[in-house]
Structure formats: structure tokens, C-alpha cells
Amino acid sequence: MPTYTAPLEDMIFLYEKLRNNKSYNEIEKYKEVTSDLVKDILQEAAKINQNIILPLAKIGDENPTILENGVVRTPPGYKEAYKKFIEDGWQSLSCDPKYGGQGMPKTVSAFFDEMLSSSSLAFKLYSELSIGAYNCINSHATDSIKNKFLPKMVEGKWSGTMCLTEPVCGTDLGLLKTKAVEQSDGTFKISGQKIFITSGDHDLTENIIHLVIARASDSPKGTKGISLFLVPKFVVKEDGSVGQRNGVSTGSIESKMGIKGSATCVLNFDNSIGYMIGPKNKGLNSMFTMMNLERIVVGIQGLGISEIAYQNSLAYAKERKQGKSHNSQSGDGADFIIEHADIRKSLLNMKSIIEGERALCFWLSQQTEVSLYHKDEKTRQEATDLVSLMTPVVKSLFTDMGMEITSDAMQIFGGYGYTKDQGIEQLYRDNRITPIYEGTNSVQAIDLVFRKLINKNGNIIDKYISLIKKDILIEDQKIKPFIEKLSKNIEILAKFTNWINEKMKNSKDDVSAACNDYLKVLGLVATAHAWVKVLEVSFKDYEKNKQFYEEKIQTANFFFNRVLPRIESYYLTATSGSKYIMDFKFN
């Protein structure tokens, strides 16, 4: 089984040294969230993840969820761990105190999300979707609905889901068949089938609150006729207690490649009682509150799995002997594989990507809080635009890199990595869903290029590039070589953007074929931007913690010399066009 130690030093470093967003620091309700408080929270988070949740990963993989006589049963130990999880208040960490939450910002909860993802992604998914459902209900439901459902969800006694996909429609939700018929009392009867529903049914909570998209009987076809409904597994009485079973049943549990401890269900809705959330025929707008935040969290899943893969690869490389390095001092014996240049390159590749991603995620978490809670409307909108731009980037880049890192981890372990004993192949399998769900990474890239670069508020990508250029106006000569490399690649990003804008006019196939490459270019520039922020502190405070900051500088050095240059390849590949792709005749 893999071991895991939460990267507390790096997380606390980011919180203490890179919490420098002026607008974020102006949010009144977070001024009492001190570094000491955050340190205490993260230390306790590390304990529950390392000691209680980590062992569940292997248990859940070997003892998947089962459907037995109409009841979904989670793996051994899940109930006990979940009980401890909610009793200690982890479910309520980022929720509104009005409903029993602790009100911690995403600059804190994102670190906890990463730890959970490292420890057991399958276990994490039972609470993760509940927070997404909470956010959606809190943003769009009436006060009566919020008061009735949110306190139990925040407490963790009730969980939540997101029910979109159907057998006839995945990404193209306009094809959905689920119907909603209005009743005389204002409720709706929901009928239809949903598939691939994460945590769709289980035995961890006394009720499950499903958020279901459906079409009212008098609504138009396509996405313009979709509404959102809250459908509980058990009807909730007026006094808030759980009543009779609603018309929701589990048809089956998917047999999956990974995250086997998570119940991915086929759900049947048969005249289920539902309550409309948000305006009629505007269901996708309401659901995207949940989906967009969830996409960032999926990116964090990729980061978390990358971290545990790296930690175990490093430990193995230090204890496994194989062959002789070119600078061997071992006489006739073999050297530890960490002495081989190729192994060191793989480890540094992992480390430089992971630490850059974590810094980028911390920057984005500050922007997210500003977009939600800053008192100035213009400031909120500017942050909203940045979050919108970076959401598909974080979702896709972090999960794609997660696949690269878990694959490299298996390679470092060699034949042992391919066996189940070490647990490395499970990390690869568990992570494989992250580039797929919440919108495949190709869909994210299309969304970025066709919808996010320019919106009603203008040219967002140019504003973002200007922001980076302003941030890297740093006088310290030691950081200049890094800034020069980033500046060169910012220019490639700008040229790529201009190419996209020109091709939009007359060759959208060229654009479509370039979307994934463009997302990767933007993602690597964004990660390098985050690294520059880390380097600025590292050079400035070097004498205060030489070992920590020297490691940061050398890790960044690898990123800027070995990872960032991928940008040029992506640009050259993408701008070769699409004619040779679209004209190819498949037999």
C-alpha cells in the first residue's frame, strides 16, 4: 500500500507567503482566519487523512461497493471513517456558518481537497458531490428550501449528487429525456433514468439529495428547455425529519477501472417528488454553479494523486538498487536508482509540475473568493472572468499531468509498479477518470477556446497576459533568467491567440484541432507565472530558510528548462492546421 505524508510545509508556505492578492485580503469575513488557525486545521487534516482515510484506498479497491437486495453497501471501514469525518467537522469546513458551517475560505479547503484526493479518491467522492450540491442550492434555491435541506447537508447527515447524464446524452444535454410534470401544490413529478451518477446511492447517510436536470412538459426542446430540480431519496417532512422513500431507485452500479470504492450508479426516477431550483428553463445556468467549482476540484484530484505517486516514487528510488550510474562510487555493487540521470529527471519532472500546480491552485482559490465575496462589483467581475478562463485549464492540465506522473511512477517502480502489491497501478487507474468526468478534457479545451477567451466583458486572455506581465516586473537580478524564459513563452501564447482569432473567421476545423494544444500552452504559462511568485519569495527570504528555498529554486530551474519548453512544440503542432486531418479517408 502506498504511504502518504501531507505536504504541510509547502501548503503553509503558500498560505503565509503567497496570500498577496490585495482584493482577497480586503474580504472582511476572512480577516480573522490567521496563519496559526490555518496551520492547526491543516495539521489535523493531515492526521485524519494519513491515519484513517489512506487505508481505505486499498480496501475500497479490493472490496468495491455492491448492490444487494436494492441496497448499496460501501466497502468495509467506510461507515466508521465517514462518521469520524463528519463528527470532526470536515464536511462543514467551507460552508456558511448560517447553516452550521465553519466558513473557511477555499484557500484552506483546497488544501484539504488535495489531501483527501491523495489519501482515497473513492472515499472523497461521497463528500465532494455534497459540497457541490450545497453550493448550487445555496446560490439558487429559495430560503425555505435552503433552510429545510442545507443544515443536514452541511452536517454531513445528508449527502448530495449531480444527475445530468442519461443513456441518450452525455455532453449534449439538450437531448435529455427526463420529464418533470408540475403538480397542483407546486412540486413536480420527475421521471427518467440517469447514469454515471457519482455517489448516487450508498449507506453512509440517512438521505441523499439529488440535483436533477429535466424538461418540464411545456418547455421547449434543446438546452433552452432544461430546468433543475431537487429530488430527495427520502421525502423530507415539514418538520425536517425523513419520511417515506421517494420514487428513486438504483438500477445498477457501474463496474469500473478505478475508484471502485465509489458508487457510480444508474438511478431510476419514477414519479419522484421534486422541487424546482432556480428559474424555469434555466436549469443549466443553475447547475453550472456546481459544475464549474467541481471542475476545479477535479483538477485538484489530479494534483492530489500526483503528489502521492511522487512521494512513493521518491522513496522507492532511494531504496531500490539497480545497475551502476556513470559516477558510481559503489565499487562492484549496484547503485540506488535515484543516482541514474533518467530517474532523477522523472522525479524532478513530477516535483516541478506538482509544486507549480499547487501554487497556481492557491492563486486561483484567492481569485475564486474575490469573485464571490468582494464588496466591489467591478472587482468581483474581473476575478470571475479570471476564474472562468482558468477553470478548464486547471481541470484539464492537472488531470492530464496526473496521468503522465502516475505513468512515470509505474515506470520508476518497474515490474513492481505493474503489480497490485505496491498500489501504484491503482493510482494510475483511479486517476484515469479525472480527464473524463465533469466534461472530458477535449470538451474543456473547446470551451476555453470557443467561449472563454472572449466574452461579454471583452478579451479576457489579453487581460490575463497583461496581468502576468505586470506581475513579473521584478528587479531582483537572480530571477531575471526565469522571467526571460517566461516572457518568451508569453509571446508564443500571444501569437497562438492571434492565430486562433484569425482562424475563427474562416477555418474552425483548424481551431478545433488546436484547442487541446492551446489549453496546454496557456496552462504551462499559468504554472510558470505561479512559479515566478514562488521564486520571488524564495530569493527574497533565502537566508531565513536556505534548505527549503534552495530546493524551490532548483525545482523551478528544472521546470523552466525541461517542462516550459513543451510550449513551442504544442504551438508548432497546432498551427500546422487541420486539412491533412480532415481530408484523411478512414477505411
Active site positions, annotated: 438
What letter represents residue 97's amino acid?
P
Cell of 281: 428553463
Q: Give CA–CA dist 465/462, Å, rounded.
A: 5
CA pseudo-torsion sign 367, 368, 374, 378: positive
Contact 410, 417 (CB under 8 A): yes
Q: Give CA–CA dist 248/191, Å, rounded.
A: 9
Pinpoint the alpha helices (H) of 64-207.
Answer: 78-87, 106-119, 121-140, 143-155
CA atoms within 13 A on the CB side of 334: 11
What letter represents residue 109's amino acid?
S
Read out DSSP for 371-436?
Answer: HHH-S-HHHHHHHHHHHHHHHHHHHHHHHHHHHHHHHHHHHHHTHHHHSSSSSHHHHHHHHTTTTT
CA pseudo-torsion sign 363, 367, 370, 373: negative
What letter represents residue 391's amino acid?
T
CA atoms within 13 A on the CB side of 62: 11
Other C-beta atoms lying within 10 Å of the C-beta of residue 225: 17
CA neighbor of 121 nearest in space, from 584, 545, 401, 431: 431
Contact 523, 299 (CB under 8 A): no
| CA-to-CA dists, residue 298 to 291, 389, 437, 461, angstroms | 10, 16, 8, 23
Q: Give CA–CA dist 508/446, Å, rounded.
A: 11
Could you say which DSSP state residue 220 is in?
Answer: P
What letter represents residue 568's amino acid?
E
**Three-state DSSP class for residue 317:** helix
Q: Give CA–CA dist 304/354, Å, rounded.
A: 9
* Kind of pairing between the strands at 71-73 and 179-182: unpaired
Read out DSSP for 154-189?
Answer: HHTSEEEEEE--BTTBSS-GGG---EEEE-TTS-EE
376-400 burial string, b = 16+ CB within 10 Å, else e?
eeeebebbbbbbbbbbbbbbbbbbb
Q: Give CA–CA dist 17/185, Å, rounded.
A: 55
CA neighbor of 77 nearest in space, from 63, 67, 92: 63
